Chains A and B, each alone.
Chain A
Amino acid sequence: MVYLQLFLAFLQIGAFSFGGGYAAMPLIQAQVIERYGWMNPAEFADLVTIAEMTPGPIAVNSATFVGNQVGGIGGALVATAGCILPSCIFVTVLAYVYTKYRTMGLLQGILESLRPAVVAMIATAGLTILIPAFFASGSVSFANGNFQIRPVLYFLAALFLLRKKKIDPIKVMVGCGVAEAVVQVVQTFT
């Protein structure tokens, strides 16, 4: 019974969260706290922290985490399956239509004007990550202590390595993380 509930709850989360991870948060909250009471709000805040600190989509992470807490590994499996099933169906249908009709003039015209919008949305996602990294308060202001120089240096170094040295992006990302860990360890123990 709990398996079925987990499956259905995450099926709904998967089916109605348009626009990526943050769009899924209120839906997860509605199902997990309000509808089924699997978590209280403090545990939910922990869940958000974990989901953000670990790789992988927030919805999938939440499904695995909540599933494990509520129904063990089996629960995690059914919750994750429920969460990705709507994606499989929608994306496959859209991709099918796209490959079938992509040479059609009208679809070409639509896609041509969608491309710049997609670039804009990727840019937004980048800024949403960078601004809280550069400014301690999360908003752009140069009040004392708010602007952080180290993340900016990592950013510039990473750009240089990516564009001039053509280094693998994952190595660049992990490198930034290791650099910050080393700096903080050195600061703490000296």
Chain B
Amino acid sequence: MKEKSHVLKKLFLSTLYLSTFTFGGGYVIVTLLKNRFVDELHWIDENEMLDLVAIAQSSPGAIAVNGAIVVGYKLAGIPGILCSILGAIIPPFLILTAVSFFYEAFKENFIIQAMLSGMKSGVGAVIASVVYDMGSGIVKKRDGVLIGVMGAAFVANYFFKVNVIFIILVTAVLGAVRTIIREKKGGRA
């Protein structure tokens, strides 16, 4: 029981902390969740984290919220979901409520503007670092199809703005077909 309450407390505090400082979209918080739960706490392994990201990604709604829910579920079931949602929602809720009262002053404040623009570089670096780690993990498997999927998904997503749901569906079908072919040839996947 003590173990469980420790997990719940950690989940709530982690999502609260990450959500407070996460500027720039859902992938940033997903990246930070990975940092906290995979690299620091070792509660989730890296492949499983990628699966959880795929779940967050293929559900409707904000990726940051979905990411928090899926990590909460994985670590502590329904109570985990409640803790991580509360953690993820409280900071934007309080901040936006405050901002909606002081909007004009906030928009004109040039120190806030400067901080936000500087933070973009830092956010980009955090994402680049995670992409490097995860991408090299995939390249190391020496599976041409997987490397091809990574390249093709990037080109489709970045250059052709193909909807992520479509990319996920196509890669899921590809994975299913490959597995069926492999299992027919004998030898399990």
The digit string for A83-119, where 1 denotes a CB below 8 A from any CB of B, is 1101110111011101100100110111111111111
| B138 in complex: contacting residue of A54, A115, A174, CB < 8 Å | A115
Q: Is the CB of B154 within 8 A of A120?
A: yes
CA distance A162 to B31 in the complex (A): 13
The digit string for B84-108, where 1 denotes a CB below 8 A from any CB of A, is 0100010111011101100100110
Contacts of B13 in A (CB 8 A): none
Q: Tell me the smallest distance from the CB of B187 to a CB of chain A, in Å.
A: 11
CA distance A179 to B22 in the complex (A): 18
Contacts of A178 in B (CB 8 A): 115, 118
| B125 in complex: contacting residue of A50, A56, A86, A158, CB < 8 Å | A158
Chain B residues 148 to 176 lying within 8 A of chain A, measured CB to CB, are: 149-154, 157-158, 163-165, 167-168, 171-172, 174-176
Q: Is the CB of A87 within 8 A of B60?
A: yes
Chain B residues 102 to 121 lying within 8 A of chain A, measured CB to CB, are: 103, 106-107, 110-112, 114-121
Contacts A105-B188, A122-B131; A181 near B121 (Cβ below 8 A): no
The digit string for A126-158, where 1 denotes a CB below 8 A from any CB of B, is 111110110000000000000000011011101
Interface range on chain A (Cβ under 8 Å from partner): 35 or more
**Residue of B64, B122, B126, B158 contacting most chain A CB atoms (<10 Å):** B122
Closest to A188 in B: B110
Q: Tell me the smallest distance from the CB of A112 to a CB of chain B, in Å.
A: 6
Contacts A113-B149, A151-B121; A170 near B32 (Cβ below 8 A): yes
Chain B residues 19 to 39 lying within 8 A of chain A, measured CB to CB, are: 19-28, 30-32, 35
Interface range on chain B (Cβ under 8 Å from partner): 35 or more
Contacts A90-B59, A177-B118, A184-B114; A68 near B100 (Cβ below 8 A): yes
Contacts of A117 in B (CB 8 A): 54, 149-150, 153, 167-168, 171
CA distance A120 to B151 in the complex (A): 7
Q: Is the CB of A95 within 8 A of B178?
A: no
Q: Is the CB of A127 within 8 A of B85?
A: no
Contacts of A113 in B (CB 8 A): 145-146, 149, 171-172, 174-175, 178
Q: Is the CB of B157 within 8 A of A87?
A: no
Q: Tell me the smallest distance from the CB of B166 to a CB of chain A, in Å.
A: 9
Number of A-B contacts (CB under 8 A): 366
User: A9 at the A/B interface (Cβ < 8 Å)?
Assistant: no
Q: Is the CB of A116 within 8 A of B182?
A: no
CA distance A88 to B150 in the complex (A): 29
Known pairs A60-B65, A116-B171, A124-B154 / 16 extra A-B pairs, C-beta < 8 Å: A16-B60, A19-B165, A53-B112, A80-B89, A87-B59, A87-B66, A94-B55, A98-B52, A99-B73, A129-B24, A130-B120, A172-B125, A173-B123, A177-B118, A179-B118, A181-B118
Residues of A in contact with B (beta carbons under 8 Å apart): 14-21, 24, 46, 49-50, 53-61, 64-65, 68-69, 73, 76, 80, 83-84, 86-88, 90-92, 94-96, 98-99, 102, 105-106, 108-130, 132-133, 151-152, 154-156, 158-159, 162-163, 169-170, 172-181, 183-185, 188
Nearest 9 A/B pairs, CB to CB: A180-B118, A56-B92, A109-B179, A57-B62, A113-B175, A176-B122, A87-B61, A158-B125, A126-B127
Residues of B in contact with A (beta carbons under 8 Å apart): 17-28, 30-32, 35, 47, 50-66, 69-70, 73-74, 78, 81, 85, 89, 91-93, 95-97, 99-100, 103, 106-107, 110-112, 114-131, 134-135, 138, 145-147, 149-154, 157-158, 163-165, 167-168, 171-172, 174-176, 178-180, 182-183, 188-189
